[in-house]
Structure 1
Amino acid sequence: MEALEVMKQHRTYREFDETYQLTEEELQTILQASRQAPSWMNGQMYSIIVIKDRTIREQLVALNPRNPHMLHSSVFLIFVADLKRTQKVAEHYEAEYPIAEGLDPLITAVTDTALALENAVIATEALGLGSVVVGSIRKNLSEIGELLNLPDYVFPIAGLSIGKPTVEMRVKPRLPEQAVVHYDTYQDYDYSLIEEYNATMEKFAEARETKRWSKKFADYFGSTPNKQVDEFLKKNKFFQF
């Protein structure tokens, strides 16, 4: 029941006590929980980069100034999809490694990485701490790849700032169940459910939101996708087309 309550009470924090230091025991508890996440065939196709060095964190904020918590939180983790480990295995067995011929290996690694990330979020909150997932690290992939010395077959998915929150946040409402949960087959639903959610979010009135929920994503997906992702994946041998 405690774990269920933690998940139901999830919220994102962006303001942290800069004087609070995560203990090594707390950090290891979070990392162990993260590493225990389910993965395809127990492949564990991810790695976790623990960023403690202040200089590196300052450089990350310089690349992504809208997320100063990457510096001010107690620790910043970067979760990467990692197919380098299986490439080493292939080399050991002198086997082919044609992962660039299809997207399934990448999807598998991204899924494993996301599951590990979510376990870290839950463990963080179970310890009475807060976190914020940072997907925008994918906007500066080339620079981050060099900064972190990432080899081929390794792709940054998201960061995670962890610390002691200084500003209380409310639990954010989610989409209506009928728009998300389907039984047996995918079921179409009326657009009014999205309008209902727009109204819910307007009442929630989160200060950082300047657009209606639906308009935000209409604008986002109406723009050209982040081409840095494609270029980075090709450069790092994830796919060739």
Structure 2
Amino acid sequence: MNTIIEQLKSHRSYRHFDENYTLTQNQLQEILDASRQAPSWMNGQAYSIIVVQNQALREKLVTLNPNNPHMLHSSVFLLFVANLKRTQMVAVKNKVPYAITDSLNPLLIATTDASLALQNAVIAVEALGLGSVVVGSVRNHITEISTLFNLPDYVYPVAGLSIGKPTVEMHIKPRLPEETVVHYDTYQEYDYQLIEDYDQIMEEFAEARETKSWTKKFADYYKEARNSELNSYLKEQKLL
């Protein structure tokens, strides 16, 4: 099998890292270079990457996100932010309107660009024989994190990435049945039993950090409004 495909199919998230392992500058640069070469809508590259090496900053991140201590204990933490400031500067320079609040499309473009760059970083990390975990909880305290990293208007955090040398081996997590995810030519309905079967698969997988079934976890998560701060934050950032 192609080694790149094998690597992609073997992806695992790691949350425990060797605190004595230091990522070399060359390794970090390889990850950043690979990340920056990700696909981007119209080559707009509507994102930025903040390399967080300072221990004090990382301690503050863990204070805001106590369930993710790896943000401090990993070799490096990368914060991927959607960046529409750069094109706002272009609009000012060209003396034209910047009508990004007329539609949600600019938010989707910037979020997608940042996410693709993050995924390229994950692949590069694994190619170097290291491990990582994506951290979406940076959006839970989006105003504080924005202040912590001096984010200007038109910029917002999308996700973080803890990178390091894993100390605990992880198994490859089972994914949803293909029939529930992959459709040919048109969206196709499927038997809900497939989702219940996945509950059983995940129960047998028995990841220690999971305390609920897959369906219960998301039924509970989406039954109530969450992170209402995000809307007001995006308005303050001139994005809504």
Deviations 1:11-60 (A, max 9, x none): 00000000000000000000000000000000000000000111100010
Give the aligned residue type for 2:207: E
Deviations 1:147-189 (A, max 9, x none): 0000000010000000000000000000000000000010011
Residue 76 of structure 1 aligns to a residue in which SS?
Answer: strand
How many residue pairs get aligned? The number is 239
The CA deviation at 1:225 is 2.4
2-side partners of 1:42 and 1:28: how far apart? 21
Map residues 23-172 of structure 1 onto 2, 5 A cutoff: 23-172=24-173
2-side partners of 1:100 and 1:225: how far apart? 23
1:216 corresponds to: 217
The CA RMSD measured in Å over matched residues stands at 0.6
Identity %: 64
Listed as ranges, the gaps of 5+ residues in structure 2 are: none
Give the aligned residue type for 1:181: V
Deviations 1:176-222 (A, max 9, x none): 00000000010011100101110100000000000000010000000
In the superposition, the TM-score normalised over structure 1's length comes to 0.98
Give the aligned residue type for 2:10: Q
1:225 corresponds to: 226
1-side partners of 2:173 and 2:224: how far apart? 26
1-side partners of 2:207 and 2:198: how far apart? 14
1:11 corresponds to: 12
Residue 86 of structure 2 aligns to a residue in which SS?
Answer: helix
1:178 corresponds to: 179
2-side partners of 1:113 and 1:228: how far apart? 21
Deviations 1:36-91 (A, max 9, x none): 00000000000000001111000101111110000000000000000000001111
Residue 197 of structure 1 aligns to a residue in which SS?
Answer: helix
2-side partners of 1:41 and 1:125: how far apart? 28
Runs in 1 of length 4+ with deviation above 2 angstroms?
none
